[in-house]
């Protein structure tokens, strides 16, 4: 089944404790992206990747890091999480950045206390 | 100001009613996508419209792309509780000096009551 797999689904952590949210896709998509979704603010892009070793900032990149060492994986790293990073996070992949539909993962609900 | 404005923001209707959701912008899009997101899940692509004036139907859902490719609408006939969810539109465009990208609207939260 074609899908984007995110882990974990739920995560509660403390301020400053480094964490990684994994994302993997099995569709051989070149484009991958991370979004956060907050009430009243919609989907906001954090980082995206056009291909292996090619990453770029989205609209809200502060406090986040990403890497794209393999085509299928695009982990999101929070080096020192803060409470304002409490949010619902989605990974998405596509054949390109604009015209093909995105396939989203099921989401990771992160709480930073 | 959001690039893509969706209206209404919230909509609660009875089962069997018809409804229309709007997605408007002052920008021209090369294509426009509609997604539905259910609670606790990621958005799922419903349709992509590409040509100005294009109409696509998906069972009881009818999607239309404006002639000028600046707006779109989603019409649901005889809504059912299973239609409940957050409906998102997303437009493909090229900001000046940038590569093409997809921008999402803020969504319309639809609740269909049995």
When CB atoms are compared, the residue of A43, A101, A105 closest to B104 is: A43
* Contact call for residues A8 and A21 (beta carbons, < 8 A): yes
> Which residues of chain A neighbour B105 with C-beta distances below 8 Å?
42
CA distance A64 to A59: 12
Residue-averaged pLDDT of chain A: 95
Pick the residue from chain A with its C-alpha nearest to B91: A98
Dist. CA B92–CA B33, nearest whole Å: 8
Q: Do B42 and A40 touch (CB under 8 A)?
A: no
CA distance B25 to chain A (A): 16
A41 has a chain B CB within 8 A of its CB: yes
User: Could you report the per-residue pLDDT of A15-32, keeping only the tens digit for each?
Assistant: 999 999 999 999 999 999
**Which one, of B52, B59, B99, lies nearest residue B75 by Cα?**
B59
pLDDT digits (tens, 9 = 90+) for A56-102: 999 999 999 999 999 999 999 999 999 999 999 999 999 988 888 89
pLDDT band at B1 (very low <50, low <70, confident <90, very high): low
Q: pLDDT at position B2, please?
A: 62
């Amino acid at each position: 089944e074609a899908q984007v797999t995110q882990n974990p689904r739920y995560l509660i952590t403390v301020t400053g404790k480094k964490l990684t949210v994994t994302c993997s896709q099995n569709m051989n998509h070149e484009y991958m992206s991370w979004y956060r979704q907050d009430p009243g603010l919609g989907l906001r892009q954090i980082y995206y990747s056009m291909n292996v070793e090619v990453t770029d900032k989205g609209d809200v990149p502060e406090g986040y890091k990403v890497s794209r060492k393999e085509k299928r994986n695009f982990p999101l790293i929070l080096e020192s999480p803060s409470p304002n990073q409490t949010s619902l996070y989605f990974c998405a992949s596509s054949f390109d950045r604009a015209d093909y539909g995105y396939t989203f993962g099921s989401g990771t609900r992160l709480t930073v206390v | 100001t959001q690039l893509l404005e969706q209206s209404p923001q919230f909509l609660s209707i009875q089962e069997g009613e018809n409804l229309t959701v709007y997605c408007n912008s002052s920008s021209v899009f090369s294509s426009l996508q509609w997604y539905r997101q259910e609670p606790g899940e990621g958005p799922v692509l419903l349709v992509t419209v590409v040509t100005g004036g294009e109409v696509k139907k998906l069972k009881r859902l009818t999607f239309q792309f404006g002639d000028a490719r600046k707006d779109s609408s989603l019409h649901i006939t005889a809504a059912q509780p299973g239609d409940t969810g957050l409906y998102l539109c997303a437009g493909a465009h090229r900001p000046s000096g940038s590569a093409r990208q997809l921008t999402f609207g803020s969504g319309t939260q639809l609740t269909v009551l049995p």
